[in-house]
Structures are given as structure tokens and as C-alpha cells.
Structure 1
């Protein structure tokens, strides 16, 4: 990760911590920490901290996230977390892939993460900060940046078509994540959810660490 991206990631974390510390007195008036099931749907931004890839500057990635969880009491919750990150773009030397090739080309790294998270909350009224730790599996795929064709469903002349890309390499490995966040309650059912997590994969994917900023809408049943 270059200096500019580190600064951006640190600024996100700092801004979130400032938000958590700015607690107006009226926020403490009501209790919004209701036990029960909830779901979160929202977006992701990934700031790479890749190691030993031979590429100096990957672009930031964007993605989507879906979580389903259960809050056991005011202080403890567990959730399943599915996150898809698309577009860690970079320019590589083709000779790194095949000694018989020359020149450069653009590639994209996409990730898919499925984790089980444990969250420790500190209920403070409308602001509901938490610490998060999770573990699960991560799938990463390096593919061509430009489409190599299209895929249609159902059949070649189907009503829905999307671009197809050439897969260069892929792998699956164990992953952990840890971070901090907050739910900003609108009422007892709806909230805005924000968190920053550091994602740490292992084994074949151990070099693909990154910071994930998640924002979304939370609904509690």
C-alpha cells in the first residue's frame, strides 16, 4: 500500500472514531439495543495492503456486502457476513506470467469473503459502537481487465447478457478480519451501519491483505 492509500485508510478509521466519541446527551435517552435477528445490506470500499505481489500500485476496489445476524443481548451479537470486492486493478508485466510473453497488460483482482463474525457492542442510545472479529474463507481470482466475450442466459440469445473475462489464476484460503464500527439508529428497526475492518488471509492468499470500509442499512426484526 502506498503512502496516499495508507493516509486515506487512517483517515477513515479516525473519522469513525471521532464519530463514536461525539455522543450528544440526548442520544442516551432511549434504548435501541433490542435483542433479535437483523440484516445489513450495503457497499464496500477496499484499500489494498498487498505484499510481495511485484505490483506497486493496485487501484482501490468497490463491492457489496450482505450480513445476517442475531443480537443476543445489549452487548453481544453474532453474524454471517458475505462480501464481494470487485476491481483491484493493476498493470503487470506479461513476462511475469509467461517468460515467452513481453509488454504489459491490465488485470483485475476480485475477492469473495464469507465469515462468521462476533461483535461486542457498547450501547449508547442512538449510537451503538462495536468491536468486530471474524473468521472464514476467502476466494480470490485474477482475471483479464477487458472482456473477452459475453455470456447470455438462457442460451446465446437470452434476455440477459453480461461480459465474460479470462481467468488467470485463483485460490481459496482461510481468512480473518477485525475492526471497529457503529450502528446509528434511526428508530428501533432501522439504522445506518458503518465499520472499518482489516482483512488478513492466509496460505496462498497471505499477501492479499486490505482494509475494508463498509457502509449499509440495517434492519432489525
Structure 2
């Protein structure tokens, strides 16, 4: 494996490690907050797709741009990206966006005549991600951008039907309500009393945790 491919693989693993956190933020209803600074953080949506081997539902955060009502995103690591390969096998997807939740269909349009312009718009909307990969969509010439994205796959997503609300957060709340119904006493448990009638565990003030980022 060459140095460049090693760096690409490390970058891919780094981005992938953040996926669970990003999905959790959406499930908590904080998708709009993630998109509060698109020029720096990027415009981010969650793509729900079906595993080509397992048939299981997969959730992947991706950068995107919207042009004339259509959604465009890029498989920045090329055709090896798992989510891209899943779309090739089954183009039916869901997309979670800051302003709603939709059923949609995806297609590879990497041979589109306006590929370079569309690619540039997606990369601009990726915030810090493109420069991290050594691409500067605001200043790169067409020739440089073409060379740097030769292996990238351009995907167009067309929405077909609106779902109700920002489904990710609603599903999580629904599961929480389901747990409460199944365990009605879970939220009403009394804490055993300690000495002098105080709730057990309240005798000492908790010590502050030391942050992994603190100098301590």
C-alpha cells in the first residue's frame, strides 16, 4: 500500500469513526444544530440505506448540496465506499435532512455532462472535509479538481414521498415511550434512604471528572 493510499484509508477510518456520534445527534433531534455552520462544518444529512449482503438498515452521515430541489452527494473514497455499493444494489433510500425526512431514490451520475460543476458544489458544501482531503473547491482550477476527484462517485438523490417530521428523533422518542409502557415502574423507583434519612449516595459530593482534554 502506497503512502497516499495509506493516508486515504486512515482518513476514511477517521470519518467512519464519527458516524455513530453524528447519527446519535440526529436521533436526539439535533440535526439542525449540526448544520448551523455549513461553510465550516459542512451541510450534513443522514442516508438510510439497505446492506447489500445483510439486508439490514444502515445509517450513514454524508455531505450534500441541494440544486433545483435535487440532492447531490459524493462518495469521496470512490466505488469502495460501503454506502455507495449498497446504493448500487438497492437505490431505495431515506434521507434525514434539517428540514424533514423523505423516501427517495439514488443513482450514480458520475458520467453527467455537468459532473465537475456539481462535484464542486458538493465539495464546497462539505466544509472542512474537502480541504482535509487536500481539495480546495473554492480555488482549485477545473483541471486540478478533475484530477483530484477522478475516482469520486457523484450521486443524485430524488425525493419521492415526505415522511412525517424529522423521523430520526421521533423514532427514538417512540422507542423511549415503548420502554416506559413495558416497564411502567422503571421511572417510579424509590432510592433507598441512607443515614439520617438522606437518599443513599448523597452523603458525599461527587468529585469533578477530569476531561481528557484538560491539562490535569
TM-score (norm 2): 0.25
Greater Rg by CA: 2
- Higher relative strand content: 1
TM-score (norm 1): 0.24
- Higher relative helix content: 2
